[in-house]
């Protein structure tokens, strides 16, 4: 997980004070609730991602921090001071807009200088700061151009430079990479992380792209229906999702539905229609009772596919036939149809260039996974 | 899409344009007539244009018309832009539908009625008819056209540009003058030109509200024609047509270009 910096975890320090704190914030538009009684702490120097499907309220939360919307209830504080009633032009927060919102009648240079001019800084200082920003985003040569003469990637950089120019305490980024193509998006992710680290600023990014969030964030808040369902590091979100929604939203996952049989030596035994024998799951933190309906989530890369039957001691054996094979170069994806009719996804890293008699379509196969590869999600 | 025109298309196009513009073309051609008789062609000459510029009564009327057109266009540009801002920016304020209707009403109101009601109003408040009453009447007439043009531009305006300006520290008024106004300026100019040309060639409302000492060019031409056709009037009309055509063409060009530019910048 990209951005996890060793020993940077202010959220686990109870004495640390957050830079931004949202307390029981609710925002209603007419009858619909965009943000529902939401509380979250964001710390200084943190790279924080708000992740969720469209309409989950992430953009509304960001716009409330920027000052374009006022909460219907609850309050947002910045460095201990309430932001209620403070207009956007008086908040020490800047935003990079999804559409970039570059002023089309101003050159790149004047776009970047706009915020500094509002502060009435001396001319020399403005020029120096603009230059510094242009260097930061590597656009020195395009200073005199107008935004319409720039490529999508260059516009994105101008928007970033303009938002950074005032050195805000917090930079808000609304889908910052949404309009870029895949290659550029990847490069830019790492650039954003470098810039954030270099300037020591707090970044709050709104995105619907889980890969983007996983790569860049120190912590991710997964949002759904106006609430935060889990706030955790990318690793925790991926490996210990709290709910089925998170497991399915972040990455690919196989869900096996079943009923709890009981606990043996700290391991849960679960009967699932997909498997002939009860499954053994190592998820000691869950508190479950007998006969409870549960969902078992297993990531495709944590499953092993094989042609030969596993030994008699093997646990968690599923049988089925190969329904589909997708060769992606680095990975091969197998879609396996189980006896129950459910289709699961298994991925295998292609470690060697040639495989003798590879697994083929319609073949009978065994799929196994280790007890600690799975997570039990209460239904 | 480039489709070849069929014979039928060409014929209907020619007939249509002929129906609309042949009389005007005839007027322009005859303004270069050497003969004093308006309906008999006597060779090419620009003498009537020379005579026109020597005709003090006509020149005086032209000067009044120009001043009225400039002033009323300026007034209706300010008012029309404000109305457009109110209609697009302030959401659903109470009475918005009524306000929209009232702004657009002069567009569909018979000019005779607009002219008459304004006349009654000016008489009631005791304002002497003349230069100012025509100017005010024309402002009433042309304001809605400015509103239409500016509103169209504001609708396609990316609001996040204004939000970005505020986010960067510009209070609302400064945001308006440094971001909104420069970007909608072409449509405001287009609205101004439209208002200007409408005022230039208005006869009905002007004749209701004109008084001694303030006669506009259309009124003058109309009254001269009643006394008999004169080639000078042809020349004056040809110039008027020229000014109006240039004004409307520029207005169309400006508003088209500003819409295009805003679309291009959105992506």
Per the CB < 8 Å rule, is A89 touching B163? no
Q: Is B176 a residue whose pLDDT tops 90?
A: yes
CB B188 within 8 A of CB B143: no
Residue A370 forms part of a structural domain: yes
Nearest chain A residue to B159 by CA: give it.
A101
Per the CB < 8 Å rule, is B167 touching A99? no
Per-residue model confidence as pLDDT tens digits over B104-139: 888 888 999 999 999 999 999 998 888 999 999 999
Nearest to B161 among A66, A103, A148 (CB): A103
Per the CB < 8 Å rule, is B183 touching A147? no
How many helices (H) and strands (E) chain B has is answered by: 12, 0
- Per DSSP, the residues of B82-145 read HHHHHHHHS-S-TTHHHHHHHHHHHHHS-HHHHHHHHHHHHHHTTPPSSHHHHHHHHHHHHHHH
Nearest to A95 among B167, B178, B265 (CB): B167
The strand ranges marked E within A301-362 are 303-306, 317-327, 331-338, 343-349
A291 and A322 inside one domain: yes
Per the CB < 8 Å rule, is A101 touching B169? no
What is the Cα–Cα distance from A220 to A212, expressed in whole angstroms?
11
Give the DSSP letter of residue A119.
T
| Number of domains chain A contains | 2
Per the CB < 8 Å rule, is A118 touching B169? yes
What's residue B247's pLDDT?
A: 85
Q: Could you tell me which residues come within 8 angstroms of residue B220 by beta carbon, excluding any fewer than 6 positions away? A: B57, B58, B61
Per the CB < 8 Å rule, is A88 touching B179? no
Nearest chain B residue to A152 by CA: give it.
B267
Residue with tokens 């520290």: B169
What's residue B267's pLDDT?
A: 47
What is the Cα–Cα distance from B125 to B141, expressed in whole angstroms?
20
> Residue B173 phi/psi, 5° resolution?
-65, -40
**A150: which chain B residues are within 8 Å (Cβ-Cβ)?**
none
Q: How far is CA A15 from the centre of its chain?
A: 26
Percent of all residues in chain B with a pLDDT value above 90, rounded to a whole number: 39
What's residue B13's pLDDT?
A: 86
- Give the H or E element holding residue B219: helix B217-226
Q: Could you tell me which residues come within 8 angstroms of residue B34 by beta carbon, excluding any fewer than 6 positions away? A: B42, B43, B44, B45, B47
Smallest Cα distance from B252 to chain A, Å: 21
Nearest chain B residue to A166 by CA: give it.
B168
A275 and A217 inside one domain: no
A210 and A358 inside one domain: no
Q: How far is CA A146 from the centre of its chain?
A: 33
The domain covering B55-265 belongs, at the CATH homologous superfamily level, to MetI-like (1.10.3720.10)
A163 and A183 inside one domain: yes
Per the CB < 8 Å rule, is A87 touching B170? no
Per the CB < 8 Å rule, is B170 touching A114? yes
What is the Cα–Cα distance from A58 to A208, expressed in whole angstroms?
9
What is the Cα–Cα distance from A242 to A240, expressed in whole angstroms?
6
Residue A4 forms part of a structural domain: no
**Helix, strand, coil percentages for chain B (3-state, nearest 5):** 80, 0, 20
Q: Which domain holds residue A194?
A: 10-247
**A166: which chain B residues are within 8 Å (Cβ-Cβ)?**
168-169
Q: Is A141 a residue whose pLDDT tops 60?
A: yes
What's residue B221's pLDDT?
A: 85
Query: Strand order in A267-272's β-sheet?
Result: A279-281, A267-272, A254-264, A293-298, A374-378
What is the Cα–Cα distance from B23 to B21, expressed in whole angstroms?
6
- Per DSSP, the residues of A192-238 read HHHHHHHHT-EEEEEES-HHHHHHH-SEEEEEETTEEEEEE-HHHHH
Q: Is A85 a residue whose pLDDT tops 50?
A: yes
Confidence label for A2 from pLDDT (cuts 50, 70 and 90): very low
Q: Is A4 a residue whose pLDDT tops 60?
A: no
Q: Is A283 a residue whose pLDDT tops 80?
A: yes
Q: Could you tell me which residues come within 8 angstroms of residue A357 by beta carbon, excluding any fewer than 6 positions away? A: none
A66 and A150 inside one domain: yes
Q: Which of A101, A111, A150 would best serve as a mutation to test chain B binding (most B beta carbons within 10 A)?
A: A101
Count residue pairs from A and B with Cβ separation < 8 A.
Answer: 64
Residue A2 forms part of a structural domain: no
A21 and A161 inside one domain: yes
**A204: which chain B residues are within 8 Å (Cβ-Cβ)?**
none
A129 and A276 inside one domain: no
> Residue B176 phi/psi, 5° resolution?
-60, -45
Minimal CA–CA distance to B82: which of B16, B139, B163? B139
Confidence label for A1 from pLDDT (cuts 50, 70 and 90): very low
Greater confidence (A277 vs B124) lies with B124
Confidence label for A8 from pLDDT (cuts 50, 70 and 90): confident
Residue A358 forms part of a structural domain: yes
**B158: which chain A residues are within 8 Å (Cβ-Cβ)?**
99, 101
Q: Could you tell me which residues come within 8 angstroms of residue B46 by beta carbon, excluding any fewer than 6 positions away? A: B32
CATH of the domain at A317: 2.40.50.100
A344 and A227 inside one domain: no
Smallest Cα distance from B88 to chain A, Å: 18
Greater confidence (B40 vs A211) lies with A211
**B160: which chain A residues are within 8 Å (Cβ-Cβ)?**
97-99, 101
Q: How far is CA B182 from the centre of its chain?
A: 22
CA distances from B100 to A166, B97, B123 (A): 41, 5, 28
Percent of all residues in chain A with a pLDDT value above 90, rounded to a whole number: 77
Confidence label for A196 from pLDDT (cuts 50, 70 and 90): very high
A229 and A306 inside one domain: no
What is the Cα–Cα distance from B167 to A102, expressed in whole angstroms?
12
How many helices (H) and strands (E) chain A has is answered by: 8, 20
What's residue B259's pLDDT?
A: 67
Per the CB < 8 Å rule, is A99 touching B165? no
A287 and A371 inside one domain: yes
Q: Where are the domains of chain B?
A: 55-265
What is the Cα–Cα distance from A153 to A131, expressed in whole angstroms?
19
Q: Which of A181, A216, A247 is the last residue of a domain?
A: A247
Residues from B in contact with A at Cβ < 8 Å:
158, 160-161, 163-171, 174, 178-179, 182-183, 261-262, 264-266
Give the DSSP letter of residue A311.
P
Residues from A in contact with B at Cβ < 8 Å:
66-68, 87-90, 93-95, 97-99, 101-105, 114-115, 118-119, 147-148, 162-163, 166
Confidence label for A121 from pLDDT (cuts 50, 70 and 90): very high
Per mean pLDDT, which range of A55-59, A243-247, B2-6 is the poorest?
B2-6
- Per DSSP, the residues of A15-67 read TPPPSEEEEEEEEEETTEEEEEEEEEEE-TT-EEEEE--TTSSHHHHHHHHHT
CATH of the domain at A117: 3.40.50.300
Cα four-point dihedral sign A366, A371, A372, A375: positive
Nearest chain A residue to B262 by CA: give it.
A104
Per the CB < 8 Å rule, is B168 touching A166? yes
Cβ count within 10 A of residue B122:
20
What's residue B1's pLDDT?
A: 47
Give the DSSP letter of residue A75.
E
Per-residue model confidence as pLDDT tens digits over B9-21: 889 888 988 888 8
Please state the ipTM of this predicted complex. Answer: 0.85
Per mean pLDDT, which range of A19-28, A35-44, A356-365 is the poorest?
A356-365
Residue A1 forms part of a structural domain: no
Nearest to B166 among A88, A147, A162 (CB): A88
Percent of all residues in chain A with a pLDDT value above 70, rounded to a whole number: 98
What's residue B2's pLDDT?
A: 53
State the average pLDDT for chain A: 92
Per-residue model confidence as pLDDT tens digits over B212-266: 878 898 998 888 888 877 788 888 888 888 888 888 888 888 877 766 666 665 5
Q: Which of A199, A217, A247 is the last residue of a domain?
A: A247
Q: Which of A192, A220, A247 is the last residue of a domain?
A: A247
């Amino acid at each position: 997980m990209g951005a996890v910096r060793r020993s940077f975890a202010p959220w686990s320090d109870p004495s640390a004070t957050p830079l931004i704190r949202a307390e029981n914030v609710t925002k209603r538009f007419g009858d619909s609730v965009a943000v529902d009684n939401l509380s979250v702490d964001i710390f200084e120097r943190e790279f924080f991602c708000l992740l969720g499907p469209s309409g989950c309220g992430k953009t509304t939360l960001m716009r409330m921090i920027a000052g374009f919307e006022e909460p219907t209830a609850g309050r947002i504080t910045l460095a201990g001071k309430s932001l209620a009633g403070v207009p956007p032009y008086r908040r020490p927060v800047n935003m990079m807009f999804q559409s970039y919102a570059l002023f089309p009648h101003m050159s790149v240079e004047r776009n970047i200088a706009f915020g500094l001019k509002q502060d009435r800084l001396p001319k020399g200082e403005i020029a120096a700061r603009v230059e510094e920003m242009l260097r930061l985003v590597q656009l020195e040569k395009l200073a005199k151009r107008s935004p319409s003469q720039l490529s999508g990637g260059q516009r994105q950089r101008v928007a970033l430079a303009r938002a950074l120019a005032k050195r805000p305490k917090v930079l808000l980024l609304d889908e910052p990479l949404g309009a870029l193509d895949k290659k550029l998006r990847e490069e830019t992710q790492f650039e954003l992380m470098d810039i954030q680290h270099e300037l020591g600023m707090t970044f709050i990014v709104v995105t619907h792209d889980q890969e983007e969030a996983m790569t860049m964030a120190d912590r991710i808040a997964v949002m759904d229906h106006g609430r935060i369902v889990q706030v955790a590091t990318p690793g925790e979100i991926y490996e210990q999702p709290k709910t089925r929604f998170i497991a399915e939203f972040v990455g690919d996952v196989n869900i096996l539905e079943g009923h709890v049989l009981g606990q043996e030596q700290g391991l849960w035994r679960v009967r699932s229609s997909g498997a002939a024998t009860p499954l053994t799951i190592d998820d000691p933190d869950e508190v479950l009772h007998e006969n409870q309906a549960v969902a078992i989530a297993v990531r495709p890369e944590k499953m092993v596919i094989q042609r030969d039957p596993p030994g008699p001691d093997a646990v968690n054996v599923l049988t089925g036939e190969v329904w589909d094979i997708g060769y992606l170069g680095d990975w091969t994806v197998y879609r396996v149809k189980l006896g129950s009719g459910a289709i699961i996804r298994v991925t295998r890293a292609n470690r060697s260039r040639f495989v003798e008699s590879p697994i083929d379509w319609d073949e009978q196969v065994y799929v196994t996974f280790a007890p600690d590869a799975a997570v039990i999600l209460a239904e | 899409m480039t489709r070849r025109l069929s014979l039928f298309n060409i014929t209907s196009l020619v007939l249509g344009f002929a129906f609309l513009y042949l009389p005007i073309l005839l007027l322009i051609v005859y303004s270069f007539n050497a003969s004093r008789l308006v309906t008999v062609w006597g060779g090419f000459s620009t003498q009537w244009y020379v005579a026109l510029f020597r005709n003090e009564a006509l020149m005086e009327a032209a000067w009044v018309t120009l001043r009225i057109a400039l002033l009323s266009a300026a007034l209706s540009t300010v008012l029309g832009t404000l109305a457009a801002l109110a209609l697009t920016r302030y959401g659903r304020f109470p009475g918005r539908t009524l306000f929209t209707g009232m702004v657009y009403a002069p567009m569909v109101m018979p000019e005779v009625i607009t002219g008459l009601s304004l006349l009654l109003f000016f008489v009631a408040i005791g304002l002497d008819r003349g230069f100012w009453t025509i100017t005010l009447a024309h402002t009433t007439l042309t304001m809605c056209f400015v509103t239409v043009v500016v509103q169209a531009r504001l609708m396609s305006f990316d609001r996040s540009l204004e939000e970005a300006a505020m986010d960067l520290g510009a209070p609302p008024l400064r945001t308006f003058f440094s971001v909104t106004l420069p970007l909608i300026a072409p449509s405001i100019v287009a609205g101004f030109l439209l208002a200007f040309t409408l005022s230039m060639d208005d006869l009905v409302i002007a004749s209701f509200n004109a008084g001694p000492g303030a006669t506009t060019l259309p009124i003058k031409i109309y009254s001269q024609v009643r006394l008999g056709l004169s080639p000078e009037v042809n020349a004056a009309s040809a110039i008027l047509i020229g000014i109006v055509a240039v004004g409307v063409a520029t207005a169309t060009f400006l508003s088209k270009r500003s819409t295009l530019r805003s679309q291009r910048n959105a992506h």
